[in-house]
Amino acid sequence: DADVTQTPRNRITKTGKRIMLECSQTKGHDRMYWYRQDPGLGLRLIYYSFDVKDINKGEISDGYSVSRQAQAKFSLSLESAIPNQTALYFCATSEGGGAGPQHFGDGTRLSIL
């Protein structure tokens, strides 16, 4: 089983819909992150969380919100999806203290029509 699990793996939806992407981990890591990846732009940080009570905005947080329901769960929401949010979304985790690498989930491919 994957250590970092993202659901759904693929989603097609319409403009204006509310969407939630979920991430769960069995690595016991304190830190969790959400990135989006677009062709030619690389990975960009949306939100990150150091523990259940800590939520921080990343480089491109506008239009997104997150919830850290438990140490193992970190969800990303698009309240009213728009076409330029079409992208590949990755969740990642790392140990507390941040010294080690980040470990990525398999990604969610989101298409907004």
Closest to other proteins by CB, 9 or 14: 9
CA distances from 11 to 57, 63, 108 (A): 24, 18, 7
- The burial of 54, by beta-carbon neighbours within 10 Å (0-12 exposed, 13-18 middle, 19 or more buried), is given as exposed
Chain centroid to CA 72: 13
Q: Is residue 101 part of the contact set for other proteins (CB under 8 A)? A: yes
Q: Contacts by 47-55 with C-beta closer than 8 Å and gap 24+?
A: 47/76, 49/74, 50/96, 51/96
Closest to other proteins by CB, 83 or 96: 96
How many residues of this chain bind other proteins (CB under 8 A)? 25
Stretch touching other proteins by CB under 8 A, among 13-21, 22-30, 34-42, 71-79: 34-42
Least distance between other proteins and beta carbon 105 (Å)? 6
Q: Is residue 74 part of the contact set for other proteins (CB under 8 A)? A: no
**Interface with other proteins (CB under 8 A):** 31, 33, 40-45, 48, 50, 56, 58, 88, 90, 98-107, 109
